[in-house]
Amino acid sequence: MEATKQDNKATVSGAHDALAFLEAEHRAVERLFTAFEKAADDDLEAKSALAQRACEELSIHAMLEEELLYPAAQEALPDSDKVDVEEAYVEHFLVKTLIAKFETMKAGDKGFDATFKVMSEMVGHHVEEEEEELFPELRKSNCNLRTLGEKMAKRKAELQSKLDAVGSRSVGDKTAAL
């Protein structure tokens, strides 16, 4: 969690453009996935906390991309690159479907670990495509990535504040070792 806080401070300060901001978020979620993989099978509390935190991070991240990045990409990219954006929306839908499953499951339930693994793999594929295909095209476009990054940082702070207000981060201390 400490590394995630550092990543967020760096990006919220406006020191990075939108793509650097999103790449830092990708690394933070990857650390959560790795920690889950390393958690002992019988450490249900840790697995539950890691899954909840990953779902929260992914939910906010998806909102940032859908509200800000993808519309900017559709505007800035030529038609030939817009299929990447359309595919990203579909991948988000699938990940959000898996996130919703965690509302009815808890660590130790049949399928909990498998659902988290599939979500991790889907997110890994999505991140790879964004970073290797979409992001390079956006870097070549006329999209103002610094302004977009500032909008993302502001929106993330708003969304995080809403999560904090409802107490969803109560498990955050359990993932502090990340």
Q: Whole-model pTM? A: 0.83
Determine the angle formed by the axes of helices 44-64 and 18-38, rounding to 10 degrees: 160
167: left (phi over 0), alpha (psi -120 to 50) or beta: left
Predicted pLDDT of residue 79: 83
Q: What pLDDT was estimated at residue 175?
A: 29
CATH architecture assigned to 2-175 = Up-down Bundle (1.20)
Q: Mean pLDDT in the chain? A: 86
Residue 15 is predicted with a pLDDT of 52
Domain boundaries, the chain: 2-175
Q: Which amino acid is at 151?
A: K
Quick one: which of 174, 167, 153, 162 has its CA closest to 17? 153
Kindly report, residue by residue over 91-104, the tens digit of the pLDDT.
999 999 999 999 89
